[in-house]
Structure 1
Amino acid sequence: MSDFDRKLITDAITRMLARREHSYNEICQKLSLKGIENEDFIPILEEFKQANIQCNRRFAESRARALYLKGAGPRKIKLDLQQHGVDEADTEAAFNEIQPDWFAAAHKVKVKKFGADKATDFKRAMKQKQFLQYRGFYHEHIEFAVNGE
């Protein structure tokens, strides 16, 4: 690999990380889509990782916080991070960092979509529960949000 190729790869990685945090896998995918061979960019990306410029834990924290603030539940956030190649330890560290209150988040999402009134009929309650389940909340969070229990 020439110095020119190395500079192009380094610049591409730097531009990605300057905009926002990226996971290791995400950078690999984007560089592959640009037609850059794995054996060319993996050593350079490893240098970024060793220098702590690219960090999956930081990516997990920022991604988890953004999804949490948008009303996503723990199941949805874990799945999203998993799809970005973040391991379980970094996911748990991200949750510990943002210290989410899943019960309050589920209630807030429910109130935003359906209002503060408690569901009076079965059909309405099921619709609310399905919506919260789709948003990635667990059963206990959903029951608390819908029934106040």
Structure 2
Amino acid sequence: MSDFDRKIITDAITRMLARREHSYNEIVRKLTQKGIERGAFIPILEEFREADIQSDCRFAESRARALFMKGKGPRAIKLDMQQYGIEESIADQALQALAPDWFESARSVKEKKFGSFIEKDFALLQKQKQFLLYRGFYQEHIEYAVKGD
């Protein structure tokens, strides 16, 4: 590989990481889409990883925080991280570092959408539960949020 090719690849990776954290797999996907051969950029990307410029842990923490602030639950956050190629252990660490109260988060999301009223109508209660399930909360969080315990 020529110095010119190395510079192009290094610049591309640097531009990506300058905007926001990216997962290793996300960078691989984006560089492949640009038509850069995998064999050419993997060694350079490994250098970025060894220098701690690219970190899946930092990406996971950043992503978990952003999704939590959008009202997503732990299941949705883990599934999102899987799509970026983050290992489950790293995703779990990011969620632990975030240390949210998922019960109160579920309640807050429910109240933002439906108000603080405790629903008695079965169909409307199911609608609230389905909404929280869609947002990625577990059953115990959902029950807490809709029952007002």
TM value normalised by structure 1: 0.98
Q: Which amino acid aligns with 1:65?
A: R
Deviation at 1:3, TM superposition (A): 0.4
Deviation at 1:97, TM superposition (A): 1.1
1:91-148: CA deviations, max 9, x gaps? 1110121111100110011001001100120011000000000000000000000012
Count of aligned pairs between the two proteins: 149
Which residue pairs with 2:112 in the alignment?
112
Q: Report the RMSD for the aligned CA atoms in angstroms.
A: 0.6
Alignment of 1:10-89 (within 5 A): 10-89=10-89
Residue segments in structure 2 that go unaligned for 5+ positions in a row: none
Rounded to whole Å, the distance in 2 between the matches of 1:15 and 1:50 is 18
Rounded to whole Å, the distance in 1 between the matches of 2:95 and 2:89 is 10
State the SS of the aligned residue for 1:116.
coil
Q: Which moved more, 1:23-32 or 1:90-99?
A: 90-99
State the SS of the aligned residue for 1:29.
helix
State the SS of the aligned residue for 1:71.
coil
Residue segments in structure 1 that go unaligned for 5+ positions in a row: none
Deviation at 1:84, TM superposition (A): 0.5
Rounded to whole Å, the distance in 2 between the matches of 1:120 and 1:139 is 18
Q: Which amino acid aligns with 2:64?
A: A
Which residue pairs with 2:140 in the alignment?
140
State the SS of the aligned residue for 2:67.
helix
Q: Which amino acid aligns with 1:81?
A: M
